[in-house]
Amino acid sequence: MILIQGGRMIDPIKKVEQVGDVVIRDGKIDGIGVYENDGRYEQVINASGCVIAPGLVDVHVHFRDPGLTYKEDILTGANAAAAGGFTTVICMANTKPTVDNIDTLQYVIEQAKKTGIHVLASASISKGLKGETLTDMAALKEAGAVGFTDDGIPLMNGKLLQQAMEQAAKLGLPISLHEEDPCFIKHNGINHGSVSEKLEIYGSPSVAEDSLVARDCMIALDTGAKVNIQHISSAKAVEAVRLAKKMGANVYAEVTPHHFTLTEDAVLKYGTLAKMNPPLRTEADRQALIQGLQDGTIDMIATDHAPHSREEKAKALTEAPSGIIGLETALALGITELVEKGYLTLPELIEKMSLNPARLYGLDCGKMEEGAKADLVIFHPKESFVVKKFYSKSANSPFVGWKLKGKIHYTICDGKIVYKGIS
């Protein structure tokens, strides 16, 4: 048994906080209250000054395995997740080969069992991510897929997407969508605006995102499917989701820490480390994302953890791949940029990083109650640290050198300590 003493416990379901102790037995939360260290515990953790919260859930990670393991693999990705306080992550399907068949899916699932956290796998919507033919979604669900996505590539065939949503609705699984119409884009990863003009690069205008978000929200409304708008970045896209929710669509939206923290100006400072799809946009867009988090239009914070090698990111701005790593800085950026600045309370942040992502996928986690799985993160919300080294294989982050609040002390998954912070 493990006794965690004197922590500030956050229950995102009941939306309550209390100072007390947590007892862990046989991988479950056995008790919440006040307990004495009477010698029967195998380990006692002093959580004074710290928060005890449900383990974080990230519905959008790229572990590059199989096929691109020089960037990341399932084990190193899981280690990075644990260091960031995540106990459950969902891998995207754009590996090489694509997770569009049972053999590749089973490979991911088997590798996931070797990690200390819950690594779940999505499957692709279309075969080979080509947007032409649907995968056997029923068979993939039976084999263990928890959802479907062609993330990285937008689905341009609206009829095919409608069919996919209808099938996903029957299966009771969510569909997650990357929303950027390539017909509007000349250079991806950089917002079409004042910064791109300075760099003499056309970039990616927000209409590329807005148009697909509006379309897909309406298809979601028509089909009744559970749909996740991934890494939302523009004010108009947020408004489209807000309207769709009011109309009754079962639409969720996620935002990344880099999108609610940075603007297009970061490209001038960080170069390719600030290049991502969709791109960082204007301050007005950033504020709209924060407002969306505040009023519930945006349900979740997801990292879009996207490792790339140093050599790849050293290429010219228009040639380097898009994306940054994010698992190890997500919670701290949420605390530093949202909680410390008064945009969200800490319980609201935890809800968007644990309970709401779990609800999207129907997962039995994100809870802080007796009998729940002992998936927990223990962190000090006021303790600062400087971003330096990563557990990820890659280090493509603009946040290296940043001083952030919210140091993680422990991550516990299924009652076992999978990460212990360095004092």
Query: Would you please indicate which residues are annotated as catalytic (active-site) residues?
Result: 304
Distances (CA, A) of 91 to 11, 76, 286, 354: 26, 13, 26, 16
What distance in Å separates the CA atoms of residue 278 and residue 253, rounded to the nearest whole number? Answer: 14
Instruction: Name the residue with tokens 């003493």.
Output: 5
Would you mind telling me the total number of residues written for the chain in this entry? 423
What distance in Å separates the CA atoms of residue 57 and residue 356, rounded to the nearest whole number? Answer: 9
What distance in Å separates the CA atoms of residue 329 and residue 407, rounded to the nearest whole number? Answer: 10
**What is the sign of the dihedral through the CA atoms of 23, 76, 175 and 103?**
negative
What distance in Å separates the CA atoms of residue 332 and residue 408, rounded to the nearest whole number? Answer: 9
Q: Quick one: how many helices (H) and strands (E) in the chain?
A: 14, 16
For residue 330, the SS3 value is helix
Burial class of residue 186 in the structure, from the number of CB atoms within 10 Å of its CB (0-12 exposed, 13-18 middle, 19+ buried): middle
Secondary structure element (H or E) that encloses residue 398, with its range: none
Q: How far is CA 332 from the centre of its chain?
A: 14
Count of CB atoms within 10 A of residue 64's CB?
26
Q: How far is CA 8 from the centre of its chain?
A: 24
Contact call for residues 142 and 84 (beta carbons, < 8 A): no
Task: Go through 220-241 and write b for each residue having 16 or more CB atoms within 10 A of its CB, e for each that does not.
Answer: bbebebbbbbbbbbbbbbbbbb
Single out the residue of 318, 339, 20 nearest to residue 185, CA to CA.
318
What distance in Å separates the CA atoms of residue 151 and residue 178, rounded to the nearest whole number? Answer: 5
What distance in Å separates the CA atoms of residue 335 and residue 382, rounded to the nearest whole number? Answer: 9
Task: Go through 274-285 and write b for each residue having 16 or more CB atoms within 10 A of its CB, e for each that does not.
Answer: bbbbbbbbbeeb
